[in-house]
Amino acid sequence: MITFPRAKINFGLRIIRKRQDGYHDIETIFYPVGLCDALEFVIAPEEAVEDNLTVTGIDIKTKNDKNLVIRVLKEFRKKHKLPFLNIHLHKAIPSGAGLGGGSSDAACFLKTIRRCFNLTLSDAALRSMALELGSDCPFFLDPVPSFARGRGEQLTPVDAILEGFHIVLLNPGIHISTREAYLNCRPGNPEYSLKELTGRYPGEWKDLVKNDFEDFAFRLYPKLGEIKRSLYREGAVYASMSGSGSTIYGLFETRPELGKKLKDMSIYEGML
């Protein structure tokens, strides 16, 4: 069984307030993009005594027992008897990049395990399991453009507003801790709802659709701010950091001819 977990980007990300449970209420638009990992598994031979996970591609520097894919199996095995599996995860989505790669892997695996082994598990129970693995994980169970509130799990589908635009994802190889980003953010109520703003043409978003994590990330890594400015110089109608970073993306009406410095950081280019 093979699946292709997709990456996402955020259009705007407002930190509304810190909650009593330690999480934050946010407002954002999740939007899937074509950058994918590849996740494959087969049932291990009868003599196997444990699951085996092989990770290739980008080095995500995560021990196998901490990988969300293995955590998914551990959660399922609390209530379901499953055979041991040989799993191959090929990473094209970098970690600590604001693209949700780990959450996407976990969500894809959740759906595939349920379907493959015909487990009696409701959609609501699956969403609950996903939320325990990551605040953005429920989105990846059905990755359609969505307005997200709460921790990111309160999802309302929105129109595919960017269909026909060309997107470029640039990643400079900087890993940003989501936890550290939240510790350094300044919550506040936005003047406008992102859901309302995204009804406008993206060329109007520059000073309105904001990612609250940028202030912290750009202070810590000035290179990120320069990448964003470079994308505007290259003709982007809108550019932003995704999630807590460090990926910076640009939206273009036509495919751009990027200069070498930006081209070297490109991890994905394609139509939305």
- By annotation, the residues acting in catalysis are 8, 136
Give one DSSP letter per residue of 245-261, joined into a string.
Answer: SS-EEEEESS-----HH
Cβ within 8 Å of residue 168, ≥6 positions away:
231, 236, 249, 250, 252, 256, 258, 262, 266, 268, 269
d(CA 6, CA 111): 14
Phi, psi of 32 (to 5 degrees): -75, 145
Strands 248-252 and 238-241: antiparallel
Provide the residue type at 86 as one letter. Answer: N
d(CA 117, CA 81): 10
d(CA 246, CA 171): 6
Angle between helices 123-133 and 68-77 in degrees, nearest 10: 130
Phi, psi of 95 (to 5 degrees): -90, 160
